[in-house]
Amino acid sequence: MCGIVGYTGRKQCVQALLEGLGKLEYRGYDSAGIAVQDGVGLAVRKKEGKLARLLELVAREPVSGTCGVGHTRWATHGRPSDENAHPHRSGAVAVVHNGIIENHQALRKCLTEAGRTFRSETDSEAIAHLLDAFTSAGLPLEAAVRRAVAELKGSYAFLAISEKEPGTVVGARMNCPMVVGVGDKETFFASDLPPLLSHTRQALFLEDREIVVAWPEGVRLTDFAGNLKHRTPQTIDWSPVMAEKGGYRHFMLKEIHEQPRAVLDTLSGRMLPKSGEVVFETLPFPGERLRGLKKVLIVACGTSWHAGLVGKFMIEGLARVPVEVDLGSEYRYRDPVVDEGTLCVPISQSGETADTLAGLREARGKGAIAISICNVVSSTIAREADGVIYTRAGPEIGVASTKAFTTQLAALHLLALHLAAARGTRSGPEVSTHLRDLEELPRKMEEVLKLEAAIAAIARKYEDTRGFLFLGRGLSYPIALEGALKLKEISYIHAEGYPAGEMKHSLIALIDERMPVLVLCAKGETYEKTLSNMEEARARGGRVIAVGTEGDGVLAGKAEDVLYLPPCGRYTLPFLEVVPLQFLAYHMAVIKGTDVDQPRNLAKSVTVE
- 173 versus 488: smaller Cβ distance to ligand AGP: 488
Under the binding rule (CB under 6 A), the answer on residue 497 touching ligand AGP is no
Phi, psi values for residue 32, rounded to 5°: -150, 160
Q: Which of 2, 13, 344, 374 is catalytic?
A: 2
Find the binding residues for ligand AGP in span 340-379 (CB under 6 A).
348-350, 353, 356
Under the binding rule (CB under 6 A), the answer on residue 606 touching ligand AGP is yes
- 122 versus 303: smaller Cβ distance to ligand AGP: 303
Q: Which of 164, 523, 592, 604 is catalytic?
A: 604
Residue among 403, 385, 407, 173 at smallest CA distance from 298? 385
Stretch that binds ligand AGP, among 24-32, 398-406, 513-521, 555-563 (CB under 6 A): 398-406
Stretch that binds ligand AGP, among 42-50, 52-60, 296-304, 571-579 (CB under 6 A): 296-304
Least Cβ distance, residue 519 to ligand AGP (angstroms): 22
Is there a catalytic annotation at residue 301? Answer: no
Under the binding rule (CB under 6 A), the answer on residue 302 touching ligand AGP is yes
Stretch that binds ligand AGP, among 37-45, 120-128, 297-305, 319-327 (CB under 6 A): 297-305
| Residue choice 93, 323, 399, 590 for contact with ligand AGP (CB under 6 A) | 399
Question: Please, which residues have CB within 8 angstroms of residue 104's CB and are 6 or more apart in sequence?
Answer: 77, 122, 123, 124, 126, 154
Find the binding residues for ligand AGP in span 204-233 (CB under 6 A).
none
Phi, psi values for residue 572, rounded to 5°: -100, -10
Is there a catalytic annotation at residue 568? Answer: no
- 63 versus 370: smaller Cβ distance to ligand AGP: 370
Stretch that binds ligand AGP, among 49-57, 299-307, 504-512, 562-570 (CB under 6 A): 299-307
Under the binding rule (CB under 6 A), the answer on residue 303 touching ligand AGP is yes
Least Cβ distance, residue 493 to ligand AGP (angstroms): 15
- 171 versus 599: smaller Cβ distance to ligand AGP: 599
| Residue choice 400, 410, 588, 590 for contact with ligand AGP (CB under 6 A) | 400
Burial 335-364 (b: 16+ CB within 10 A, else e): ebebeeebbbbbbbbbbbbbbbbbbbbbbb
- 489 versus 552: smaller Cβ distance to ligand AGP: 489
Under the binding rule (CB under 6 A), the answer on residue 301 touching ligand AGP is yes
- 307 versus 435: smaller Cβ distance to ligand AGP: 307
Integer Cα distance of 85 and 72 in angstroms? 8
| Phi-psi group of 472: left, alpha or beta (phi > 0 → left; psi -120 to 50 → alpha; rest → beta) | beta
Beta bridge partners of 278: 271
Cα–Cα distances in Å, from 590 out to 343, 493, 516, 601?
41, 12, 18, 18
Q: Which residue is nearest to ligand AGP (CB)?
A: 302
DSSP letters, 545-574, are EEEEETT-TTGGGT-SEEEEE----TTTHH
Under the binding rule (CB under 6 A), the answer on residue 304 touching ligand AGP is yes
Integer Cα distance of 609 and 605 in angstroms? 11
- 122 versus 350: smaller Cβ distance to ligand AGP: 350
DSSP 228: B
| Residue choice 244, 258, 265, 489 for contact with ligand AGP (CB under 6 A) | 489
Least Cβ distance, residue 581 to ligand AGP (angstroms): 12
Least Cβ distance, residue 522 to ligand AGP (angstroms): 23
Integer Cα distance of 225 and 239 in angstroms? 36
Stretch that binds ligand AGP, among 238-246, 275-283, 298-306, 565-573 (CB under 6 A): 298-306
Phi, psi values for residue 112, rounded to 5°: -65, -45
Integer Cα distance of 420 and 426 in angstroms? 5
DSSP 50: -
Least Cβ distance, residue 383 to ligand AGP (angstroms): 15
Beta bridge partners of 259: none
Burial class (CB within 10 angstroms; exposed 0-12, middle 13-18, buried 19+) of 91: middle
Question: Please, which residues have CB within 8 angstroms of residue 457's CB and are 6 or more apart in sequence?
Answer: none
Phi, psi values for residue 209, rounded to 5°: 65, 35
Find the binding residues for ligand AGP in span 117-176 (CB under 6 A).
none
| Phi-psi group of 474: left, alpha or beta (phi > 0 → left; psi -120 to 50 → alpha; rest → beta) | left
Integer Cα distance of 273 and 433 in angstroms? 8
Phi, psi values for residue 134, rounded to 5°: -70, -40
From residue 93 to residue 122, what is the string marking binding to ligand AGP with x (rule CB under 6 A)?
A: ------------------------------
Under the binding rule (CB under 6 A), the answer on residue 442 touching ligand AGP is no
Stretch that binds ligand AGP, among 90-98, 121-129, 191-199, 394-402 (CB under 6 A): 394-402
| Residue choice 401, 526, 530, 582 for contact with ligand AGP (CB under 6 A) | 401
Query: To the nearest 10°, the Cα dihedral for 354, 412, 319, 300?
Result: 20
Q: Which residues make up the interface to ligand AGP (CB under 6 A)?
A: 301-304, 348-350, 353, 356, 399-401, 489, 605-606
Catalytic (active-site) positions: 2, 604
